[in-house]
Structure 1
Amino acid sequence: MAKYKRYDYSQNVLVPVSLEEQLMPGTLEFAIHTLIETRMDLSVFDDKYNNDEAGRSAYDPKVLLKIVLLAYSRGLISSRKIEQACGENIVFMALACGQQPDHSTIAAFVSSMQDQILALFRDVLLICEEQKLLGGTFFALDGCKLPSNASKEWSGRLSDLKNKQARLEKKVQGLLKKQIEADHNQGVDQAEQPKRERQIKKLQHQADRIEKWLNANGPRTGGGGREVQSNITDNESAKMHTAHGAIQGYNGQALVDKKHQVIVHAEAFGCGQDHGHVEPMLEGTKKNLQAIGHCQDCLEGKTLTADANYHSHDNIEKCIEEGLDAYIPDLKFRSRDKRFATKKRQPSQKDKPFRLADFKHDPTRDEYICPRGRRLTLSVKKFTRDRVIYRRYVADLATCRHCRLKPRCLRRKNAKRKTIDVPIGVTEDNYSKAMSHKVDSPKGRRIYPQRIAIVEPVFANIRIHKLLNRFTLRGKNKVNIQWMLYCMVHNLGKIARYAPG
């Protein structure tokens, strides 16, 4: 008969554990512990606590910040998961010195750091500067769109939300009518009554919620004063289109130094369009660099790269004002590059929405022919939008009404016929022309591609290794805290890996 070593779960074991020895030199947790204890100024939190003479002692912000940063580095973003780790994981126990703050304390600490987060970020940036991790001569800017704690189903312009409320009210009235009919016909459909009552209550609550929000809020405006979609759950978030579909969330921007991919400035915006974020990101970068000892004109003569989403007259002008050697291509720069002339395109998916290239132009009649063979006639000969000159063609209303390709052709649900805007030129803009020539030059072709190797690995680290796949808070200020904490974790990882000693 086989023999096995005996075990007994009822036996007692006394294990001496030194908390400090659990923080091994060379690890991220050791770097977090050492830097927060010796290098970072957390006195910025003192004014938050009014318990000098009365009230119980609060958890030390150093302890809370340590466990939050380590948790974010390991993909633990939920305050309940962090609380659990402090009771089960020896490294978290060591950082917390055996204390076990509950999830409400952790959540309140993170969401209330609005006045302290920038100072903490700059402390870490200063350490990066002292450890010679910043090159300070070459930067790359990009954004990362992430969903937040808000539902895209509760998004829309004010007219859309009013229509949604009306539809909900109509459903409630229909269910009430069925309820009355069931009451008159005893024994008929009585089994559905409790379910119907719950549904009525739920729909009425949703309708009341929309009405309350509409009474308290006006239209939300975007660039150019045009109305953009609001959101009842979090009106500072935005509906954004990504490669994986539409999301309701925020656009986390990061400006990254080339030498060791240290994030110099980070900020979250409730807008999916990147071109509006260049100025605030450059201003934030200047202030951060000045705060760690750089001169007033710290960006002058430095190189900046950003993708085509940032290309605009105002952004190029801002870069010139700052004295930056910027490389921001326009949307057609690849089509002018001979290296991409023979590049094979991926075959289009079967149900992919139609693009402008799918519509054939008939030059003899100046009309466009749709994939089903119907014609779109000239509607507007010339109009300008964002410094691009367009010509508009529209289809006949009756043609589109019963077309079987309508789902692939009309992007908006309430659209009744196809409209295409064909770019025919650009307005005179010396800044954009000069930038296009600059990016197309041999020097530009050599410098601009470096952008990908600088900034994209940063987002890969935060999203894949640190597992940030969504923001869990609501409101721009709170989401910005979460985004900057993750960027701090990224920078702390660089210190732990590259800094001497």
Structure 2
Amino acid sequence: MGRFVEGQDRRQSWLLPSSLDDYVTADNPVRVIEVFIDELDLGALGFTRSEPAATGRPAYDPATLLKLYLYGYLNRVPSSRRLEREAQRNIEVMWLTGRLAPDHKTIANFRRDNGTAIQAACRQFVVLCRDLQLFAGATVALDGSKFKAVNNRDRNYTVAKVAKRLEQVEASIARYLAALDRADREGNDVPEARTQRIGEKIAALRRQMAFLREMEAQVETADDGQVSLTDPDARSMATSGRGTGIVGYNVQIAVDPEHHLVVAHEVINEGHDRTQLVPMGDRAKQATDAEAIVGNYPPPCAGWVSLIPCRDGSHRS
């Protein structure tokens, strides 16, 4: 054992730093989150409960919940339950929230009730990056990525899916009806309970067929031929793997190649990127305050867009 790196005795007493601030280095990203959010006017951005109520149980400051949400975004912790655990054990989060640990329901409700305000805060961050000249201004990289929705694949319906499932249900009904015919011919040799179970399955299949007929009518009237029951705006999309696919969203992103900052983004439900290059180029032009876009790559590919910055170097809101 003497040749291995040895740990310290858990029962040994140590003189640890007396404050949480000693654990967070001066260049830690959480300090950027702290400064950025503290300078925002959350009421003007539309955050709910930005002014504390005069009566009742005190609520969490929206600034605290926004800091926790942005920390999760930067560290790939999207789950409200995981953010709740991080607030109880992560020193960086303890420093950021003042050792407050909101429960997961509070975090989820904040995210649900302040979606538009969070987008406005993101726009303020883009404006800040532009004012600090963190965008190179010469080129941006554009690409799309598929994000899975909560909607299960079995709760997404297309013309082909409905037709295939109707065919499967009809085949199952025919199989059970044939089993009932055999039971009638065999007479008393077949237990009555088994015949009853087969009848119940046929009734369930008929209800499923009626539901599929209803879905067929909805799919035919849908603009893009799809219906999602859990997330109405989610769509079935093919992924890079052969024979694979997800029900989700297509997120288009424009990134500054020098500092790797997101210049602009847009969430769409089209399963391809063929028509997104020019619209995202326009968004990148507005975000970076460039005068024009040059060197556009034609559809159907994402790629690089060259931007011409303002001649006078000014930045317009």
When the two structures are superposed, what TM-score results if normalisation uses the length of structure 2?
0.71
Partners of 1:5 and 1:32 lie apart in 2 by 34
Task: Rate the CA distance shift 1:259–1:160 in 2: closer, same or farther, 3 A.
Answer: closer
Partners of 2:16 and 2:199 lie apart in 1 by 59
1:91 corresponds in structure 2 to 92
**CA offset digits 1:254-273 (Å, max 9, x no partner):** 12234323221111111122
Secondary structure, aligned partner of 1:75: coil
Deviation, 1:207, is 5.6
8 Å CA contact 1:237, 1:271 repeated in 2: no
Secondary structure, aligned partner of 2:274: helix
Deviation, 1:201, is 9.8
- Greater relative CO (CA pairs within 8 A, separation 6+): 1
2:18 maps to 1:20: no
Corresponding letter in the other structure for 1:277:
Q
8 Å CA contact 2:235, 2:270 repeated in 1: yes
Task: Rate the CA distance shift 1:166–1:256 in 2: closer, same or farther, 3 A.
Answer: same
Q: 2:291 aligns with which of 289, 295, 299?
A: 299
Secondary structure, aligned partner of 1:142: strand
2:223 corresponds in structure 1 to 221
Corresponding letter in the other structure for 2:96:
L
Deviation, 1:50, is 8.4
5 Å-filtered alignment, 1:216-295, equals 219-222=221-224, 228-245=225-242, 246-248=244-246, 249-289=248-288, 294=289
Deviation, 1:86, is 1.1
2:42 corresponds in structure 1 to 42
Deviation, 1:26, is 0.8
Partners of 2:204 and 2:71 lie apart in 1 by 40
Task: Rate the CA distance shift 1:7–1:175 in 2: closer, same or farther, 3 A.
Answer: farther
Q: 2:300 aligns with which of 303, 309, 312?
A: 309
Task: Rate the CA distance shift 1:213–1:89 in 2: closer, same or farther, 3 A.
Answer: farther
Deviation, 1:83, is 0.9
Partners of 1:164 and 1:121 lie apart in 2 by 43
Deviation, 1:88, is 1.8
Deviation, 1:55, is 4.6
8 Å CA contact 1:138, 1:303 repeated in 2: no
Deviation, 1:21, is 3.3
2:311 corresponds in structure 1 to none
Deviation, 1:45, is 3.7
- For the aligned residue pairs, the C-alpha RMSD in angstroms reads 4.5
2:133 maps to 1:132: yes
8 Å CA contact 2:162, 2:215 repeated in 1: no
Task: Rate the CA distance shift 1:139–1:12 in 2: closer, same or farther, 3 A.
Answer: closer
**CA offset digits 1:242-265 (Å, max 9, x no partner):** 322332222111122343232211
8 Å CA contact 2:159, 2:219 repeated in 1: no
Partners of 1:7 and 1:261 lie apart in 2 by 43
Secondary structure, aligned partner of 1:309: coil
**CA offset digits 1:319-378 (Å, max 9, x no partner):** 9xxx978xxxxxxxxxxxxxxxxxxxxxxxxxxxxxxxxxxxxxxxxxxxxxxxxxxxxx
Deviation, 1:104, is 1.8
1:444 corresponds in structure 2 to none
Task: Rate the CA distance shift 1:187–1:26 in 2: closer, same or farther, 3 A.
Answer: same
Task: Rate the CA distance shift 1:108–1:169 in 2: closer, same or farther, 3 A.
Answer: farther
Deviation, 1:94, is 1.9
Partners of 1:201 and 1:36 lie apart in 2 by 58
Partners of 1:71 and 1:136 lie apart in 2 by 29
2:114 maps to 1:113: yes
- The gaps in structure 1 that reach 5 residues or longer are 223-227, 312-318, 326-501
Query: Kindly, what percent of the aligned residue pairs are identical?
Result: 24
1:56 corresponds in structure 2 to 57
8 Å CA contact 2:278, 2:296 repeated in 1: no
8 Å CA contact 1:158, 1:219 repeated in 2: no
Partners of 2:22 and 2:209 lie apart in 1 by 57
- The gaps in structure 2 that reach 5 residues or longer are 309-317
Corresponding letter in the other structure for 1:97:
G
Partners of 2:220 and 2:192 lie apart in 1 by 48
Partners of 1:93 and 1:206 lie apart in 2 by 51
Partners of 1:166 and 1:130 lie apart in 2 by 60
**CA offset digits 1:373-431 (Å, max 9, x no partner):** xxxxxxxxxxxxxxxxxxxxxxxxxxxxxxxxxxxxxxxxxxxxxxxxxxxxxxxxxxx
Task: Rate the CA distance shift 1:274–1:130 in 2: closer, same or farther, 3 A.
Answer: same
Secondary structure, aligned partner of 1:98: coil
**CA offset digits 1:300-328 (Å, max 9, x no partner):** 2x4455575248xxxxxxx9xxx978xxx
5 Å-filtered alignment, 1:345-424, equals none
Secondary structure, aligned partner of 1:145: strand
Corresponding letter in the other structure for 1:121:
C
Partners of 2:173 and 2:30 lie apart in 1 by 55
Corresponding letter in the other structure for 1:299:
E
Partners of 1:204 and 1:48 lie apart in 2 by 50
Corresponding letter in the other structure for 1:61:
P
Aligned length, in residue pairs:
294
Secondary structure, aligned partner of 1:251: strand
Partners of 1:217 and 1:65 lie apart in 2 by 39
Task: Rate the CA distance shift 1:6–1:233 in 2: closer, same or farther, 3 A.
Answer: closer
**CA offset digits 1:49-75 (Å, max 9, x no partner):** 686355533322221122222223322
